[in-house]
């Protein structure tokens, strides 16, 4: 109910909406509307009430709740269903549970804070309250399971494009799933899949974006290797503007894939890549080797020239580092 009230008030663009109109649109009593308005004020919303005029939003807290998202969303598929938490262990875990229960394509799970957020290879991801964008997206694509890893590349390109649109900051993508600024990690992407031999049941793409995390509050182990948009820009960045732009970019790329396949996405990814052309160290489960990252193939695998042969490196198996 509160989400619907927020959506209506936001769409009034600073104008008043009467309690009677809200009650009629939402099929509840004016008393119920008043109680929800009081609850929204307790959450930090500045809502002005005026006799014979109604209610209007004066200022909003920096929240990513459904009402805020729906007021600014630009998509037709992604984010039309929103599952919101103030705090959760992992949005990816919750998204997988929802997907297994039949959640429709485009559903997102978003939380203000994660307690056990994680990246690739089970690494932890610092996800403090209201300082970043921590969310997961459910997709049910028609392409084959072997193409699923390329969804990580799609998400990285979408986020890079959205960051530039909202902040003007140019970032680079480190294969396969990190977005960097001047060598420091800004974004992580984790893609997980449930599939059969010839079909995908669902894909969950988890995305963690450091938006307004200060360097001072970062854990000691990541202070030297991570950064945030506010640290780069020197000012607070709107999380809701960035999230809705990320969803818009993701939807555009996803629809492009359905029309033309992954080739356009791979081309875009290469333009953002900070891995290709670099001398790297590949750390695998059973071996470690050095070489130059020369390309990615049609399935998103990294091609590394060791000087003796071209090694094909899969994202699920390894870590890569700059060669020293």
Residue pair 205/137 in contact by the 8 Å Cβ criterion:
yes
The contacts of residue 10 (CB under 8 Å, 6+ apart) are 57, 67, 68, 71, 72
SS3 content of the chain, % helix, strand, coil (to 5): 35, 30, 40
Q: What is the DSSP letter of 114?
A: B
**Beta bridge partners of residue 206, listed in sequence order:** 136, 190
The C-alpha atoms of residue 8 and residue 22 are separated, in whole angstroms, by 8
127 is in an annotated binding site: no
Q: Is 114 annotated as a binding residue?
A: yes
Chain centroid offset of residue 204 CA = 11
Q: Considering Cα of 176, then 182, then 184, then 188, what sign does the dihedral take?
A: negative
How far is CA 12 from its chain centroid?
28
Is 49 annotated to bind a ligand? Reply is no
Q: Is 42 helix (H, G, I), strand (E, B) or coil?
A: helix
Say whether 119 counts as a known binding-site residue.
yes
Q: Are 121 and 146 in contact (CB under 8 A)?
A: no
DSSP-based three-state secondary structure for 231: helix
Handedness of CA 296, 99, 84, 17 (dihedral sign): positive
| 120 in a known ligand binding site | yes
Measure the CA–CA gap between 106 and 125, rounded to whole angstroms: 23
201 is in an annotated binding site: no
Q: How far is CA 58 from the centre of its chain?
A: 28
Question: Per the structure block, which two tokens stand in for 193?
Answer: 């899949």
Cα 31 to the center of its chain, rounded Å: 37
| 284, two tokens | 């695998």
Residues at the binding site for biotin are 90-92, 114, 118-120, 185
Residues at the binding site are 90-92, 114, 118-120, 185
């Amino acid at each position: 109910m509160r989400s619907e009230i927020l959506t209506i008030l936001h769409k009034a663009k600073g104008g008043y909406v009467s309690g009677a109109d809200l009650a009629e649109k939402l099929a509840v009593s004016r008393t119920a509307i008043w109680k929800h308005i009081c609850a929204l004020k307790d959450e930090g919303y500045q809502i002005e009430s005026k006799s014979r005029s109604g209610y209007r939003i004066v200022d909003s807290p920096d929240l990513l709740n459904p009402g805020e998202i729906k007021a600014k969303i630009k998509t037709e598929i992604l984010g039309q269903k929103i599952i919101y938490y103030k705090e959760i262990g992992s949005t990816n875990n919750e998204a997988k549970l929802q997907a297994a229960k039949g959640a429709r394509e485009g559903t997102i799970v978003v939380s203000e804070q994660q307690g056990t957020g994680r990246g690739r290879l089970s690494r932890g991801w610092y996800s403090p309250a209201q300082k970043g964008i921590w969310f997961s997206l459910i997709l049910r694509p028609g392409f084959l399971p072997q193409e699923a890893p390329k969804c990580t590349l799609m998400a990285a390109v979408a986020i890079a494009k959205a960051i530039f649109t909202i902040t003007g900051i140019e970032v680079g993508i480190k294969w396969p799933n990190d977005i960097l600024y001047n060598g420091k990690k800004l974004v992580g992407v984790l893609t997980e899949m449930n599939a059969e031999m010839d079909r995908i049941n669902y894909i969950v793409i988890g995305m963690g974006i450091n938006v307004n995390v200060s360097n001072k509050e970062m854990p000691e182990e990541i202070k030297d290797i991570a950064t945030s948009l506010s640290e780069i820009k020197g000012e607070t960045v709107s999380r809701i503007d960035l999230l809705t732009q990320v969803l818009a970019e993701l939807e555009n790329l996803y629809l492009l894939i359905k029309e033309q396949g992954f080739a356009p996405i791979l081309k875009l990814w290469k333009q953002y890549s900070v891995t290709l052309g670099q001398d790297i160290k590949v750390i695998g489960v059973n071996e470690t080797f050095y070489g130059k990252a020369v390309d990615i193939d049609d399935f998103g695998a990294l091609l590394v020239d060791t000087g003796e042969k071209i090694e094909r490196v899969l994202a699920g198996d390894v870590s890569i580092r700059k060669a020293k």
